[in-house]
Amino acid sequence: MYAYSACGGGDLSKSHEILSMDEFRGVKAQPVGVVVVTDSASETKAHRTNCQWVTEESFEKKVIEGRNKNGRYYFFLRLEDAAQELGARECRSCGKTG
């Protein structure tokens, strides 16, 4: 049902790194999955796709302008997979809802 993103055509049936703004927008539009943000200055966090803290501005700064020097963005269908593969911890803000 959610095999391809609305923008960018990325395959959402697999965990993968988010490399473009179009792909980021497509992932954010999905009702399922988590966006994992790695950061050299803080712990790796997994956010629901609708989390208010995962913004285009943040993605632009870290991935596009910063060229992934201080971190990366990934998409996972399940929080459990993100925790196992990247050691991601659930965001306290978006993780406490439903």
- Report the pLDDT value the prediction gives residue 11, as an integer from 0 to 100: 58
Structural domain count, the chain: 1
Task: Please tell me the predicted confidence (pLDDT) of residue 8.
Answer: 45
Q: What is the pLDDT along the chain (98 residues), one digit of tens a residue?
A: 333 344 444 555 678 999 999 999 999 999 999 999 998 888 999 999 999 999 999 999 999 999 999 899 999 999 999 999 999 999 999 875 44
3-state secondary structure the chain: CCCECCCCCCECCCCEECCCHHHHHHHHCCCCCEEEEEECCEEEEEEECCCCCCCHHHHHHHHHHCCCCCCCEEEECCHHHHHHHHCCEECCCCCCCC
The pLDDT of residue 5 is: 41
- Tracing tokens 């959610």 back to the chain, one arrives at 2
Range of the domain at 51: 16-90
Is residue 9 domain-resident?
no
